[in-house]
Structure 1
Amino acid sequence: MNPDKEVEFDFPPVIRFYKSGRFERLSELFVDVPAGFDSETEVSSKDVIINPSTGVSARIYLPNILQSRKLPIIVYCHGGAFVEGSAFDSFNHSFMNRLSAQASAIAVSVEYRLAPENPIPIPYDDSFEVLNWVVSHAQGGPEPWLVNNGNFDNVFLVGFSAGANIVHNIALRDVHFKGLVVMHPFFLASEKLPSEPTDPKLRDGIERLWSYICPGTSGIDDPAINPLAEGAPDLKGLNCERVMVCSDEGELKVRGDVYYEHLVKCGWGENVEFVESQGEQHGFFLEKPDCEKAQEMMSRLTVKSRLSSPGVIRIYKSGGAVRLSETTLVSPGIDTETGVTSKDVKINPSTGVSARIYLPEISCQDKKLPIIVYCHGGSFVSGSAFDSPDHAFMNRLASQARAIAVSVEYRLAPENPITIQYDDTLEVLKWVVSHADCGLEPWLTNYGDFSSVFVMGFSSGGNVVHNVALRDVRFEGLVLIHPYFITSKKLPSEPTDVTRAKLEEIWWYICPGTSGLDDPRANPEADGAPSLKELNCDRVMVCLAEDHLMLRGKVYYEALEANRWGENAELLESTGQGHGFFLENPDSEAAHEMMRRLIAFINRG
């Protein structure tokens, strides 16, 4: 017989080996897709070459976030029994988009070289090289997404199946990182446990495959495939701070379970977690990403404590809170790009409530200027009037609208629960309008037009200004940008992603004593909520993006129309743009259009 056609080992539907040494991959499932912008998750991706001489590369994913926020970094290794699959295939690409979006993390998906052409340890070496490349950017490097956005104290190594085997083995090397996640790991052992699956053909195929992908191996008790084998490195030596093991009900389940049990025994304690997806098979989360178990697994991957609003805050059972986002504060002064001058003022020394005031360049021909009181976003728990994105936005707004802007530094929850943010903002608004009859702030008394005061808020700031507008100070216009409104009743077209769920969950912590998601402060359309006719202004503008809050914002605008606001209510929909895009991408056409509409609204008179 022709040895080039005589089968030596057949492992359908994965790979077939011939006696000549030739082999062929059998699966047609893995179809490569290009990098780019994913409209569903608002994640951008691109491919980078790590080592031109070997061809080792990676696909990097960046979620739609504010650039001042440093993000966790996930280095991911795909599955495929070491012989198939790719960082670029449709299954892994889709999973990475979802993971990056829901974890608010940069993801780096490793395109390691496949066996048998590149036998073990080459997949380990390739993945380790990518990990080293990633962490090297802590000191600067060629990849701006990592340098500008990455938090190198929060690097996670994640792998599925063969990829889980890879990340376990490289976690024993000399690069320290935050967390290790092994999902449905490819581990074997010669000793069979009573609870192990009994498909002898499949089991024999998996074990025989190992000898082809790792020639020269000592067998299936090689420490590379059996982490608990005699002579294997102690799991105490994993070079990370915590470990998560994800288990399915496939052929490899029991070995993963044993791995977790050994982690517990050797002292990992509360720093090891176990996620069991009962009734689901190997890799189910790739094939059925919308199923309940896949969503539960994704939630466990991205939510590490009792409450972790991705990239924002972690609240512990003790009541303590740790803010996860790194806010970059900037000083006031003259902005050379816009010519706007800013300064900080204390409004209430006893509470610490303050504001940053912005004054555009003044000419002798200038008439009195409109006044904008602005509230930043941040889910009520993060952000600042002094952070770099809001400071830059205020400079642009004051310059282009020819207006005085007053950015409110309200106190943050959960230390200062709702209604303190409303009270602080109302206090600043009253301080501003009190200057109509004279006051201590010369920028307001000399240049402000108190018949043209606007109150504007973004995200949670949009919620704040809505609630303030129901109080006892009248002003000309209200602007809500991507407002934070929630409700217990979901519309058929409303998303139910992790971000949305976290926004709902966090409400209970920032507003203790609340009646729930239909508290009128969170849901302006709830039973018992004040009528929108009572908004204490002359006109309203609602700005929406294609984000998790869009439909609630649209319902708010429709309620304005139903309450006879008519031509005094305006709607701006920024199609294809994510939450807060105007802060992250101020030079985009959508951001320019939003600025034009804001200016037109202010100057309408």
Structure 2
Amino acid sequence: MASNTTKEVLHDLSPFLVVYTDGNIERFLVTSNLLPSPEDPTTGVASKDVIVISPEVKARLFLPKLTDSNQRLPVLVYYHGGGFIVDSPYCLNFHRYMNLLAAEAKALIISVEYRLAPEHLLPIAYEDSWTALQWVASHVIANASIEKDPWVVKHGDFGHLYIGGDSAGGNIAHNIVLRAGVEPLLGDVKILGLFLSCPYFWGSKPVGSQSKEDLTGFAYKAWMCVYPSAAGKDAFTPGGIRYVESAKKSGWNGEVQLVVVDGEYHEFHVNDPYTKKAKDLIKKLASFISR
């Protein structure tokens, strides 16, 4: 049988993966996963894994140190980045980032594991993410037909429910909130706030400082791979700015804040959360969640 090097390539997303025309997918970058911990040595945050719907949708929960055993905390449902093709709540960067954010915000975080493309093309990640959010919301229903998680039941303050995500997760969070606007959450739970970090939005025309070349680079190729039916130093920044401007012009009466961190790369606060700029951004996000 011919080797992969002689097969016709459909999508080349090196160094992450290659998709061949015969349907085979070759992954090159495999991230190592971390186990949950009853107490993170740096932050004191406890973590554990849960199954939302076996085996497709899972999540890792992060619970900060409590000042009271019955303490209620803001709830953040978080969607990780990775271009829809890599990473998970269990890999080093996102596990570490969630520990830091949970500790700073004093919030209960549910970090969602959704199925990845190209094995599972969009909109499957959107559907999995919505399923996870509905699972979280169902904890307010007394006779809900789910296995409730004791952390969520005992410590979740559903009057302070937030949605967040970075990169592809920011794209997911945006779509989730739009859906929640037309399809009620279980128990009539309401979303109090949303934050998008370095969101992965893409289009057919340049936005702001983007060039025509930006629209044919890796981000474009990844989008065509994960959703083939859809047409600073961070190339996604102009799209994020346009998002905020559009929200302000839409007639929505809520509060909108734009935070631009100059001179930093995409997802800098996840990849190295200990720099001053990363710490400052984490503090801003934590302040938003915990107010």
Indicate the TM-score class for this superposition, using the shorter chain for normalisation: 0.7 to 0.9
Tell me how far 1:306 sits from its aligned partner: 4.1
Equivalent runs, 1:111-150 vs 2, <5 Å? none
Cα distance in 1, alignment partners of residues 214 and 204 from structure 2? 15
- The answer to whether the aligner puts 1:408 opposite 2:109 as a matched pair is no
Cα distance in 1, alignment partners of residues 30 and 113 from structure 2? 17
Cα distance in 2, alignment partners of residues 454 and 380 from structure 1? 21
Cα distance in 1, alignment partners of residues 102 and 41 from structure 2? 13
The residue identity in structure 2 corresponding to 1:387 is: C
Q: Tell me the residue number matched to 1:487.
A: 203
The residue identity in structure 2 corresponding to 1:364 is: D
Q: Given the superposition, is the C-alpha separation of residues 306 and 332 from structure 1 closer, same or farther in structure 2, using an over 3 Å criterion?
A: same
Tell me how far 1:567 sits from its aligned partner: 5.8
Q: Tell me the residue number matched to 2:47.
A: 342
Cα distance in 2, alignment partners of residues 513 and 567 from structure 1? 33
Cα distance in 2, alignment partners of residues 492 and 422 from structure 1? 27
- The answer (yes or no) to whether the contact 1:499–1:548 under 8 Å persists in 2 is no
Equivalent runs, 1:77-476 vs 2, <5 Å? 305-333=9-37, 334-349=39-54, 351-364=55-68, 367-438=71-142, 440-471=148-179, 472=183, 473=185, 474-476=190-192
CA deviation string 1:141-198 (max 9, x = no partner): xxxxxxxxxxxxxxxxxxxxxxxxxxxxxxxxxxxxxxxxxxxxxxxxxxxxxxxxxx
- The answer (yes or no) to whether the contact 1:546–1:574 under 8 Å persists in 2 is no
Cα distance in 2, alignment partners of residues 396 and 506 from structure 1? 29
- Given the two structures, how large is their TM-score scaled by the length of structure 1? 0.43
Cα distance in 2, alignment partners of residues 584 and 594 from structure 1? 13
- The answer (yes or no) to whether the contact 1:309–1:499 under 8 Å persists in 2 is no
Cα distance in 1, alignment partners of residues 16 and 163 from structure 2? 25
- The answer (yes or no) to whether the contact 2:52–2:59 under 8 Å persists in 1 is yes
Tell me how far 1:461 sits from its aligned partner: 0.7
Q: Given the superposition, is the C-alpha separation of residues 464 and 499 from structure 1 closer, same or farther in structure 2, using an over 3 Å criterion?
A: same
Paired residue total = 275
Q: Secondary structure at 1:457's aligned position in 2? A: strand
Q: Given the superposition, is the C-alpha separation of residues 320 and 384 from structure 1 closer, same or farther in structure 2, using an over 3 Å criterion?
A: same
Cα distance in 2, alignment partners of residues 331 and 455 from structure 1? 24
Q: Secondary structure at 1:574's aligned position in 2? A: coil
- Given the two structures, how large is their TM-score scaled by the length of structure 2? 0.87
Gaps of 5+ in 1: 1-268, 273-303, 517-544
* Off by >4 Å, runs of 4+ in structure 1: 269-272, 496-500
CA deviation string 1:59-105 (max 9, x = no partner): xxxxxxxxxxxxxxxxxxxxxxxxxxxxxxxxxxxxxxxxxxxxxxx
- The answer (yes or no) to whether the contact 1:342–1:359 under 8 Å persists in 2 is yes
The residue identity in structure 1 corresponding to 2:286 is: I
Tell me how far 1:498 sits from its aligned partner: 6.8
More strand by share: 1
- The answer (yes or no) to whether the contact 1:495–1:548 under 8 Å persists in 2 is no
Cα distance in 1, alignment partners of residues 273 and 212 from structure 2? 28
Cα distance in 2, alignment partners of residues 505 and 345 from structure 1? 33
Cα distance in 1, alignment partners of residues 44 and 248 from structure 2? 39
Cα distance in 2, alignment partners of residues 421 and 342 from structure 1? 23
The residue identity in structure 2 corresponding to 1:422 is: Y
Q: Given the superposition, is the C-alpha separation of residues 447 and 502 from structure 1 closer, same or farther in structure 2, using an over 3 Å criterion?
A: same
Tell me how far 1:403 sits from its aligned partner: 0.4
Tell me how far 1:378 sits from its aligned partner: 1.0
- The answer to whether the aligner puts 1:581 opposite 2:274 as a matched pair is no
Cα distance in 2, alignment partners of residues 478 and 325 from structure 1? 31
Q: Secondary structure at 2:65's aligned position in 1? A: coil
Tell me how far 1:599 sits from its aligned partner: 1.6
Tell me how far 1:496 sits from its aligned partner: 4.7
Tell me how far 1:415 sits from its aligned partner: 1.4
Cα distance in 2, alignment partners of residues 507 and 492 from structure 1? 20
Q: Given the superposition, is the C-alpha separation of residues 270 and 398 from structure 1 closer, same or farther in structure 2, using an over 3 Å criterion?
A: closer
CA deviation string 1:253-283 (max 9, x = no partner): xxxxxxxxxxxxxxxx9969xxxxxxxxxxx
- The answer (yes or no) to whether the contact 1:500–1:548 under 8 Å persists in 2 is no
Cα distance in 2, alignment partners of residues 499 and 488 from structure 1? 7
Q: Secondary structure at 2:116's aligned position in 1? A: coil
Q: Secondary structure at 1:345's aligned position in 2? A: strand
Tell me how far 1:366 sits from its aligned partner: 6.7
Q: CA RMSD in A?
A: 2.3
- The answer (yes or no) to whether the contact 2:106–2:290 under 8 Å persists in 1 is no
Tell me how far 1:502 sits from its aligned partner: 2.3
Q: Given the superposition, is the C-alpha separation of residues 366 and 571 from structure 1 closer, same or farther in structure 2, using an over 3 Å criterion?
A: farther
Residue of 278, 284, 288 corresponding to 1:597:
284
Bigger Cα Rg: 1
